[in-house]
Amino acid sequence: MEDLPPSPAPDSPGAGGVSRRSELIQATTPFRMLFGFLRRRAIEDARRREDGVLDFTFGDPHEMQMPAYVEALREAAVPRSEQWFAYKQSEQPAQDAAAASLERVVPLGWSGADLRMTTGGFGAITVAMKAVADPGDEVVYTLPPWFLYEILAVEAGLVPVKVPALQPTFDLALDAISAALGPRTRIVVVNTPNNPSGRIYPPATLTALAELLEEASARNGRRIWIISDEPYNRIVFDGATFHSPAQFYRYTLLCYSYGKTLLAPGQRVGYLAVPPGLPDAAALMDAIDSLQIAGGWLFPNAVMQYAVPDLERLSLDVGALQAKRDRIVGALREMGYEVTSPEGTFYVWPRSPIPDDEAFVASLERRGVLVMPGALFETPGWFRICLTATAESIEAALPHFRAAIDDVRSQAPPG
C-alpha cells in the first residue's frame, strides 16, 4: 500500500482538524477545476436570468419535466401502508423492473437478485470501487474521463492511473492500457457511451480489452475488475447497437443511473449490477450490501424505488436529441471547427480552434455562451457542449460560435 503524505505540522494550513483524506480530495485537479468552475457559474446565475446567457455546461433539464415522470413520483408518494416510508434497502419490484429493462439492452439473463439499487451512478461507482479494491490498489481509466472518477478513487484510498484515449477518434488506447496494468491494478473503469466524446466502444475493442485483462489477471495472480459506467447506454444515435463490457468480460460491475435517460439528475436513483453466474457472487453481493449501509445508507429513498417500474417505461426524446446533435455538429463543421459526431450521450466534443481551450471557453463566456473546457476533463485542446439545452438556445448560440472562431482567424499571423 502506498503511504499517504505526512500529516501537516500543527501550525500549517489545514491542520485544525481537517482530515488528510479531505485534503487529498481537494488537491485533485478535477476537484480544483470543477469547483472553481461551479463558483464562476454561480456568479453567472443572475446574468443568465437577466441577460439570456446560454448554458451548455451540465446535463441539467432546460424544459419542464415530462408529465408522466411527475405523475409517477406523485403516485409513488401516496402511502399504501404504515411502512411506506420506513427504512429501505433494495426494493424487489424496483430490482425486478430494472433487471427486465437491463436484459433488453445487455442480454445476459439478469434477474432482480443480480442488482442493488443505489443513489444514482455516483453511489453505484463508489460502492463498486470499495467492493473489489483495497486502499493502495490502482484504478486505470481513460482520458477524457467523467471528471469525478479521480475524486471517487482518492476518497476510497485508491491510486488513479490515467491513460489518454486515441485522438481524434477517442477509442480506447489498448496498448497504453496494457502498459498501465501493473501488479497493483485492481480496476479498469470503462465509460461507454463515453462522456464527453460520445464514443461507443465496438465489440472488437471490448474483446481485445477482455483479453488484456485476462492475461494481466493471470500474470498478477489477482483478478482485475471492470467497472462499467453506462448511464447513457440507452441514449444512442443512428440506430447504433450498444455493447456492454459485461458481454465480453464477466468480471464486470455494471453501474447505471436513471438521471440521464430521464433527464432528472437531482432525483438520485440507479443500480449496481453483478453479472449472472459470476463465481462467488453471493459474497460480492454481501459486500455490496454492507458497504451501502456503512457508506451512509446508500440506497435510493422509498419514493424513488416505488416509482422505478413506471420510470422504466419513460425516456427523454432521443430523436429530438439526435436532431440537436446533427444541427450543431453540422453547423460547427461548416464554420471550420473540428468535431466528431457523437454516437451516444448528450454531449458534443469539438476541438478548440486554439491550443488554450480555457482561453477559448472564456471568450465564449464573454459572449454569453457557457461550455466546459477540455482541461476540466484533463484533455486540453477540446471543449464540451451539452445538448440538453433547448433547440432555440442552440440556434441562438451558433452566431457566437461563428464569431469566436472568426476572431481566432483574424488574430492568426499571416501565412
Q: What is the pLDDT of residues 213-258, one digit of tens each?
A: 999 999 999 999 999 999 999 999 999 999 999 999 999 999 999 9
In a domain, 122, yes or no: yes
Whether residue 250 is found in the same domain as residue 140: yes
Helix H segments across 18-66? 20-27, 29-51
Q: Which of 311, 335, 352 is the last residue of a domain?
A: 311
Q: Which of 311, 332, 364 is the last residue of a domain?
A: 311
Mean pLDDT in residue range 61-86 = 95
Q: Coil, helix or strand for 33?
A: helix
Whether residue 132 is found in the same domain as residue 194: yes
Whether residue 292 is found in the same domain as residue 340: no
Confidence of residue 33 (pLDDT cuts 50, 70, 90): confident
Whether residue 352 is found in the same domain as residue 384: yes
Do residues 360 and 352 touch, judged by C-beta distance below 8 A?
yes
d(CA 75, CA 170) in angstroms, rounded, equals 43
Whether residue 246 is found in the same domain as residue 223: yes
Mean pLDDT in residue range 22-51 = 74
Task: Tell me the per-residue pLDDT of 136-162, one tens digit each, with 9 for 90 and over.
Answer: 999 999 999 998 999 999 999 999 999
In a domain, 15, yes or no: no
| Total residue count of the chain as it appears in this document | 415
pLDDT for 42: 67
In a domain, 7, yes or no: no
Whether residue 306 is found in the same domain as residue 338: no
Q: What are 108-113's contacts with CB under 8 Å, separation 24+?
A: 108/246, 108/247, 108/275, 108/276, 109/276, 109/277, 110/273, 110/276, 111/276, 113/285
Confidence of residue 43 (pLDDT cuts 50, 70, 90): low
pLDDT for 318: 96
Q: What percent of the chain has pLDDT over 90?
A: 84
Task: Tell me the per-residue pLDDT of 383-396, one tens digit each, with 9 for 90 and over.
Answer: 999 999 999 999 99
Residues 6+ apart with CB under 8 A from 381: 351, 352, 355, 357, 374
Residues 6+ apart with CB under 8 A from 42: none
8 pLDDT more than 60: no
Q: Which of 311, 337, 358 is the last residue of a domain?
A: 311
In a domain, 1, yes or no: no
4 pLDDT more than 50: no
49 pLDDT more than 60: no
CB atoms within 10 A of CB 103: 15
Mean pLDDT in residue range 115-137 = 96
Grid coordinates representing 60? 441539467
Whether residue 269 is found in the same domain as residue 138: yes
Grid coordinates representing 342? 457523437
Predicted model pTM: 0.92
Whether residue 91 is found in the same domain as residue 225: yes
In a domain, 11, yes or no: no
In a domain, 235, yes or no: yes
Confidence of residue 30 (pLDDT cuts 50, 70, 90): confident
Mean pLDDT in residue range 328-340 = 97
9 pLDDT more than 50: no
CATH of the domain at 105: 3.40.640.10
Whether residue 82 is found in the same domain as residue 56: no
41 pLDDT more than 70: no
Residues 6+ apart with CB under 8 A from 243: 192, 200, 201, 202, 203, 206
User: Could you list the residue range(s) of the whole structural domain that residue 271 is in?
Assistant: 67-311
CATH of the domain at 55: 3.90.1150.10
Q: 194-207: string of b/e by CB count within 10 Å (b at 16+)?
A: bbbbbbbbeeebbe
Average pLDDT in the chain: 92
Grid coordinates representing 89? 434497502
Confidence of residue 5 (pLDDT cuts 50, 70, 90): very low
Whether residue 336 is found in the same domain as residue 238: no
Mean pLDDT in residue range 343-360 = 97
Whether residue 255 is found in the same domain as residue 269: yes
In a domain, 341, yes or no: yes
In a domain, 364, yes or no: yes
Task: Tell me the per-residue pLDDT of 77-90, one tens digit each, with 9 for 90 and over.
Answer: 999 999 999 999 99
Whether residue 71 is found in the same domain as residue 58: no
Task: Tell me the per-residue pLDDT of 174-224, one tens digit each, with 9 for 90 and over.
Answer: 999 999 999 999 999 999 999 999 999 999 999 999 999 999 999 999 999
25 pLDDT more than 90: no
Do residues 140 and 213 touch, judged by C-beta distance below 8 A?
no
In which residue are the cell numbers 457523437 written? 342
Angle at which helices 391-411 and 318-335 cross, to 10°: 20
Total number of domains constituting the chain: 2
